[in-house]
Structure 1
Amino acid sequence: MLEHEPVPADQVVAGSPSTGYVALDGWGAGEIGVWEMTPGAMRDVEVDEVFVVLSGAATVEFEHPHSSPIVLAPGSVVRLEAGMKTIWTVRETLRKVFIAR
């Protein structure tokens, strides 16, 4: 299990979510890592990232630019772009492996 910290109050939408993270490798401005979030909902501003969901269940809503929500489950592969404003609603602790820059 990853060490978790509470989500900052100004990002919490519902519940008391916490997140954990570990870097696996990095280069220049890029990074490969594992990220986890417990049940609840939070707002975030994304970086350029591709991720694969390893476990859990969640939905990502897009506030800006607006688009259809994505339902996440093990095996989901998603590409996010820097600056996207999202709301992550986690129903079952979500763990993903990501490549970001």
Structure 2
Amino acid sequence: MKVLSTLKEAMSAPLSAGRASALLMEHGSMTLRWYAPKGVDNQTPHDQDEIYIVASGSGIFFMDGERAAFGPGDALFAPAGAEHRFEDFTDDFGTWVVFYGPVGGE
């Protein structure tokens, strides 16, 4: 079982096939991914709950009609099925993404 993923590793990890993020770690229902969209965030709702931990950059997080400014070190939550995306983010934006729990959310 993998117990450490470094920021350097995350930033250079290849995208997973058919995904806009790189898989770094998994255990049970939990996956840790690296997400660093360029220009526009076109993601669609996911079937698990998610926590984003912003590593670099800043912008606006849109989630189900609400917007919140974010920056490095901030944590953001999106429940399963919720429309969400990053808007007006800087070129250096990158975030850890933790997917967890059952399909449909907790």
- Please indicate the TM-score interval, normalised by the length of the shorter structure: 0.5 to 0.7
Query: Runs in 1 of length 4+ with deviation above 2 angstroms?
Result: 1-4, 39-44
What amino acid sits opposite 1:78 in the alignment? L
Offset, 1:29? 2.4
TM-score by length of 2: 0.63
Alignment-derived partner of residue 59 in structure 1:
60
Distance 2:90 2:58 in 1: 5
State yes or no: 1:26 paired with 2:26. yes
Residue 25 of structure 1 aligns to a residue in which SS? strand
Offset, 1:84? 0.5
Alignment-derived partner of residue 85 in structure 1:
83
Question: How many residues are treated as equivalent by the alignment?
Answer: 85
- State whether residues 55 and 94 of structure 2, in contact with CA within 8 Å, keep that contact through their aligned partners in structure 1: yes
TM-score by length of 1: 0.66
CA RMSD in angstroms, aligned pairs only: 2.4
Offset, 1:41? 4.5
Offset, 1:96? 0.7
- State whether residues 39 and 89 of structure 1, in contact with CA within 8 Å, keep that contact through their aligned partners in structure 2: no
- State whether residues 78 and 84 of structure 2, in contact with CA within 8 Å, keep that contact through their aligned partners in structure 1: no
Alignment-derived partner of residue 95 in structure 1:
94
Which structure features the higher share of strand residues?
1
Distance 2:90 2:62 in 1: 16
- State whether residues 2 and 36 of structure 1, in contact with CA within 8 Å, keep that contact through their aligned partners in structure 2: no
State yes or no: 1:36 paired with 2:36. yes
